[in-house]
Amino acid sequence: MLKEEHELRKAANNLILVLTINEQLKQGLESFDALLSMSDFERRAFDNPSSMSAYTSAKEGLHTSFEQFKATYGSAVISATYEAFKKALSKKEFCIEAGIKTDLTKSEAATVFNKVFQELSEQSGTFPEEADGYAIFIEMIRQAMNPAEDTKQIADVCPYCGGVPTRISKAEFFGDMVDDVDGYVWACECGAYAQVAADGSVVGLLADRTLHASRKRIRHIILELSRLVGVTVFEGCKWVSFITDRKIVALQDIEWLNEAECKSITDAFEDVKMRLKAVNPEYPKSHKELIAFLEEGGRFSALNSYGFKSGRLFVPIKVGNEAVRVRFRKGVQDIMLPRELDYQFNGQQFILLHPTGKRERFKLYAKEQRQVLYKEDKENV
Cβ distance to Zn ion smaller for residue 160 or 174: 160
CA distance 273 to 308: 18
In 3D space, the residue among 116, 351, 342, 374 whose CA is nearest the CA of residue 235 turns out to be 374
Positions 51 through 110 that interact with Zn ion (CB under 5 A): none
Which of the ranges 186-194, 252-260, 274-282, 339-347 carries the binding residues for Zn ion, by CB under 5 A? 186-194
| Burial profile 34-57: b = 16 or more Cβ within 10 angstroms, e = fewer | eeeeeeeebeebeeeeeebeebee
Alpha-helical runs (H) found in 282-356: 287-295
Minimum separation from the CB atom of position 207 to Zn ion (A): 11
Contact with Zn ion (CB under 5 A): which of 55, 69, 73, 160? 160
Longest distance between any two alpha carbons in the chain, whole Å: 77
Minimum separation from the CB atom of position 159 to Zn ion (A): 8
Minimum separation from the CB atom of position 155 to Zn ion (A): 9
- Does residue 161 bind Zn ion (CB under 5 A)? yes
Minimum separation from the CB atom of position 190 to Zn ion (A): 3
Minimum separation from the CB atom of position 194 to Zn ion (A): 11
Q: What DSSP string runs through 125-177?
A: TS--TTS-HHHHHHHHHHHHHSPPB---PPPSS-TTT----EEEEHHHHHTTS
Which is it for the CA torsion 131, 134, 135, 138, positive or negative? positive
Positions 191 through 230 that interact with Zn ion (CB under 5 A): 192
Given a contact cutoff of 8 angstroms between Cβ atoms, the answer to whether 281 and 368 are in contact is yes
Cβ distance to Zn ion smaller for residue 99 or 163: 163
In 3D space, the residue among 232, 259, 235, 260 whose CA is nearest the CA of residue 248 turns out to be 235
Cβ distance to Zn ion smaller for residue 190 or 335: 190
Positions 120 through 159 that interact with Zn ion (CB under 5 A): 158
Q: How many residues bind Zn ion (CB under 5 A)?
A: 7
Contact with Zn ion (CB under 5 A): which of 78, 141, 188, 233? 188
Cβ distance to Zn ion smaller for residue 18 or 188: 188
Which residues lie across from 149 on neighbouring strands?
A: 246
For Zn ion, the binding residues (CB under 5 A) are 158, 160-161, 163, 188, 190, 192
